[in-house]
Amino acid sequence: MSGSLRIRWAIAPRTAPRPLINCNRCGTVKAYCSSGKFRVNANGKRIDVWLIYRCIDCDNSWNFDILERCNRRDIEPARLAALESNDPALARRHAFDVVALRSRVGRIEEFPDVAVHKQRLGGNRESATGLELQLGLEMPTSLRLDRLLANELGISRSRLQALEERQLLIVDPDGAKALRKPAREGVTIRVDLADEPDRQAIISAAGG
């Protein structure tokens, strides 16, 4: 699309998914939150590592397996040091690993709130007649693409759908029905705003 302002959105989920676990203290299913702390247990050359979770109501603990009976020699020294020192970035990465959590727990509570850092990559704001938005995700999110765009561009989801139906909004590579799916890493959204009276306001909201 000629005349487009190219912007990268770096998207970071704010709230980690919470496993729903039968708490033996509360006597019912409760949400558990990551404590941000690892438990490292060494037995000879073998190491077990868990990320410790806590019940949101009674503080009962649950251990999420990170490494099981792993030979010390197979762990990079920097990673082992990060585990032993409760490195916040590493704890966050494991806490947001919803795929691994689902492999251990049947039910997961997910949250759609995200922070979006916007960086202009190219194009002229004053003369732009459209947008090319490139998505980068720090972690997977359950936030639907139409909700993300509506929140960040300041327009309704019905208007986004209308733009899509008129082929003025194209999602690459997901195509049809992409607006109703979670936002994904590497997706590019192209929006033709040439005939929109509030074009400049949308472009400004996008990060232009």
- In tens, the pLDDT along 186-207 reads 999 999 999 999 999 999 999 9
More confident residue, 117 or 43: 117
SS3 195: coil
Radius of gyration in angstroms for the set of CA atoms belonging to the chain, rounded to a whole number: 22
H or E element: which one contains 88? helix 88-95
> What is the average pLDDT across 171-182?
85
Residue 202 — left, alpha, or beta (φ > 0 → left; ψ -120 to 50 → alpha)?
alpha
More confident residue, 3 or 85: 85
Cα within 13 Å of Cα(127), Cβ side:
5
Nearest to 47, CA basis, from 74, 13, 8, 87:
74
Predicted TM-score (pTM) of the model is 0.77
Residue 30 β-bridge partners? 21
Nearest to 160, CA basis, from 188, 193, 134, 123:
193
Both tokens assigned to 191: 């929006």
Tokens 């400049």: give the residue: 200
Residues whose CB is less than 8 angstroms from the CB of residue 85 and which lie 6 or more positions away in sequence, other chains included: none
